[in-house]
């Protein structure tokens, strides 16, 4: 069972004055220092506020991007901590390091109800180390900053990392409300989803999503494939895809998935037309071609309009939909129509719709949709996929007691 913050508080006889380390997922897309989608920051606010209102001295740990285990100003959490402070509307102090002198002084200076944000945990090589002892050493230092740990970064619970996994072994712990909400929704997708259950997959990496495809084929009624990953599927069927994104190493696995879909009676819908352009640029002049007519010197950057219509029709009568991965390079307007069509179709569904994935969530917002037009917008892409795949997520397993 995952313990709640309420239960943790009871254990302590109240959290007033206690130092509580919260692992949040503040890994937002940035354009320089400008946050282009603050969804994850917003999603992190309720747990931090809850702890603050209980009088805890709240210490927030999070990562941003992939710095190489050392301080790198380009990956400083400062702009994100600034946004968090605005949203919290209570004092939030920023440490200039993760577990060093600044972190210690900042945490020591906290009054009950105040919040400190540590620098990017990935500035420390121990955070992501594969060596248990290295992660353990960093986790030890994190643990000295707190009396209890609350795991609220759903987007990272599939990672065996120091601030997610190891530190939970060192401190009394609980799952934050965000993690509990996310798990509750994903559980509904794995236990008796209302049918038809439609899964839409896109995005850039087949390799990330292959594992989940096979387990989804055992549960879903229809599987729709778009985005960059469609080209590996087309390649697996002997179709030439020009300069489109492909992962040739995964062609065999994709072929097996296609056969498995046929065997299990799942409708596998692959695009029939595609938007192509000579380059990935908003200025490129796009055209629509059949999937077997992709010019050798061009790349496919969105599903075509006929495919978008088929996908829309396959989604509209669903009672459950899980969608991960944009249908095209939605960041550029000429290639956003497929993603928009799928998003629109989801908003008409009478049932549970779940959008998972950092880029997918950013896509719906940047296309002008509101979160409440969907049943649930998950903050975690990889984490939700691994959950649906039936894998044990280290960051959840470690909380289970
Ligand atoms: P999520 O974060 O939602 O899990 P991914 O990270 O897998 O999604 O993929 C998102 C990225 O996929 C987007 O940045 C988008 O531009 C890219 N993408 C979608 N379609 C294509 C395509 N046809 N070619 C290249 N990249 C694509
Ligand atoms: Mg992504």
Distances (CA, A) of 254 to 73, 108, 240, 299: 40, 54, 16, 20
Kindly state if the Cβ of 331 falls inside 6 Å of ligand 1. yes
The residues placing their C-beta within 5 Å of ligand 2, an ion, are: 358-359
Q: Give the span between the Cα atoms of 27 and 24, in whole angstroms.
A: 9
Q: Which residue's CA is the closest to the ligand 1 atom numbered 10? A: 203
Distance from chain centroid for Cα 257: 24
- C-alpha closest to that of 201 among 176, 221, 234, 225: 225
- C-alpha closest to that of 187 among 179, 175, 195: 179
User: Span 166-173, mean pLDDT?
Assistant: 98
Residue 357 has pLDDT above 90, yes or no: no
Residue 305, phi then psi, degrees to nearest 5: -65, -35
Q: What is the pLDDT of residue 199?
A: 96
Say if CB 363 and CB 39 are below 8 A apart.
Answer: no
Mean pLDDT score across all residues of the chain: 96
Q: Give the span between the Cα atoms of 2 and 178, in whole angstroms.
A: 12
Q: What is the pLDDT of residue 293?
A: 98
Q: Which of 68-77, 199-208, 326-335 has the lowest mean pLDDT?
A: 199-208
Number of alpha carbons in the 13 Å side-chain half-sphere of residue 309: 4
Q: What is the pLDDT of residue 146?
A: 98
Q: Which ligand places an atom closest to the C-alpha of 301?
A: 1
Task: Quote the strand ranges of 52-104, DSSP E.
Answer: 57-61, 92-94
User: Span 301-308, mean pLDDT?
Assistant: 98
Residue 335 has pLDDT above 90, yes or no: yes
pLDDT band (50, 70, 90) for residue 85: very high
Residue 22: in which H helix or E strand, if any?
strand 19-23
Instruction: Render pLDDT for 194-219 as a digit per residue (tens, 0 to 9).
Output: 999 999 999 998 888 888 898 899 89
Residue 369, phi then psi, degrees to nearest 5: -85, 155
Q: Give the span between the Cα atoms of 269 and 327, in whole angstroms.
A: 13
Instruction: Render pLDDT for 137-167 as a digit per residue (tens, 0 to 9).
Output: 999 999 999 999 999 999 999 999 999 999 9
Instruction: Render pLDDT for 276-303 as a digit per residue (tens, 0 to 9).
Output: 999 999 999 999 999 999 999 999 999 9
Strand 273-277 versus strand 320-324 pairing type: unpaired
Kindly state if the Cβ of 389 falls inside 6 Å of ligand 1. no
Tell me the percentage of the chain whose pLDDT exceeds 90.
Answer: 91
Atom nearest to 356 CA in ligand 1: 3
Residue 97 has pLDDT above 90, yes or no: yes
Atom nearest to 324 CA in ligand 1: 3
Kindly state if the Cβ of 304 falls inside 6 Å of ligand 1. no
* Whether the bond into 196 is cis, omega within 30 of 0: yes
pLDDT band (50, 70, 90) for residue 7: very high
User: Span 183-191, mean pLDDT?
Assistant: 93
Q: Give the span between the Cα atoms of 95 and 113, in whole angstroms.
A: 17
Tell me the percentage of the chain whose pLDDT exceeds 70.
Answer: 100
- The DSSP code sequence of 119-169 is --GGGSTTTT-SSHHHHHHHHHHHHTT-SEEEE--GGGTTS--IIIIIGGG
CA of 148 to the centre of ligand 2 (A): 31
Kindly state if the Cβ of 329 falls inside 6 Å of ligand 1. yes
Q: Which of 84-88, 130-134, 216-220, 309-313 has the lowest mean pLDDT?
A: 216-220
Distances (CA, A) of 141 to 81, 107, 314: 21, 13, 51
302: exposed, middle or buried (Cβ count in 10 Å: 0-12, 13-18, 19+): buried
Q: Give the span between the Cα atoms of 362 and 330, in whole angstroms.
A: 10
CA of 360 to the centre of ligand 1 (A): 8
Say if CB 239 and CB 291 are below 8 A apart.
Answer: yes
Work out the angle at residue 248's Cα, subtended by the Cα atoms of residues 242 and 249, and round it to the nearest 5 degrees: 170
Q: Give the span between the Cα atoms of 242 and 287, in whole angstroms.
A: 14
* Catalytic residue positions, numbered: 40, 205, 358, 382
Residue 187 has pLDDT above 90, yes or no: yes
DSSP annotation of 3 reads: P
Instruction: Render pLDDT for 257-282 as a digit per residue (tens, 0 to 9).
Output: 999 999 999 999 999 999 999 999 99
Residue 17 has pLDDT above 90, yes or no: yes
């Amino acid at each position: 069972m995952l313990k709640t913050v309420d239960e943790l508080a009871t254990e302590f006889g109240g959290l007033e004055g206690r130092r509580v380390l919260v692992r949040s997922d503040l890994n937002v897309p940035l354009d320089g220092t400008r946050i282009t989608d603050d969804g994850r920051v917003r999603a992190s606010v309720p747990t931090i506020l809850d702890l603050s209102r209980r009088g805890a001295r709240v210490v927030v740990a999070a990562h941003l991007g992939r710095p190489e285990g050392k301080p790198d100003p380009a990956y400083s959490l400062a702009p994100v901590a600034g946004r968090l402070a605005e949203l919290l509307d209570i004092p939030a102090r920023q440490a200039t390091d993760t577990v060093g002198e600044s972190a210690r002084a900042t945490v020591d200076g906290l009054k009950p109800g105040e919040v400190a944000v540590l620098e990017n945990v990935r500035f420390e090589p121990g955070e992501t180390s594969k060596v248990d002892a290295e992660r353990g050493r960093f986790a030890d230092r994190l643990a000295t900053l707190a009396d209890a740990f609350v795991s609220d970064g759903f987007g990272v619970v599939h990672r065996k990392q120091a601030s997610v996994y190891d530190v939970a072994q060192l401190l009394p712990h609980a799952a934050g409300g965000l993690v509990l909400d996310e798990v509750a929704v994903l559980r509904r997708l794995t236990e008796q989803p209302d049918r038809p259950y439609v899964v839409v997959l896109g995005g850039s990496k087949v390799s990330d999503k292959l594992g989940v495809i096979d387990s989804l084929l055992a549960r879903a009624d229809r599987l729709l494939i778009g985005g960059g990953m469609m080209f590996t599927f087309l390649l697996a069927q002997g179709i030439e895809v020009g300069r489109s994104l492909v992962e040739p190493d995964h062609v065999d696995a994709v072929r097996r998935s296609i056969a498995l879909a046929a065997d299990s009676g799942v409708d596998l819908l692959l695009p029939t037309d595609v938007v192509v352009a000579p380059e990935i640029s908003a200025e490129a002049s796009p055209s629509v071609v059949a999937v077997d007519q992709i010019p050798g010197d061009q790349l496919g950057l969105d599903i075509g309009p006929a495919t978008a219509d088929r996908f829309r029709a396959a989604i509209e009568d669903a009672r459950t939909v899980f969608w991960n991965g944009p249908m095209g390079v939605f960041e550029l307007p000429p290639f956003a129509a497929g993603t928009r069509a799928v998003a629109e179709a989801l908003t008409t569904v009478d049932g549970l719709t779940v959008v998972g994935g950092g880029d997918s969530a950013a896509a719906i917002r940047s296309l002008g949709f509101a979160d409440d037009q969907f049943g649930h917008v998950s903050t975690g892409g990889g984490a939700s996929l691994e959950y649906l795949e039936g894998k044990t997520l280290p960051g959840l397993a470690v909380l289970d007691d």
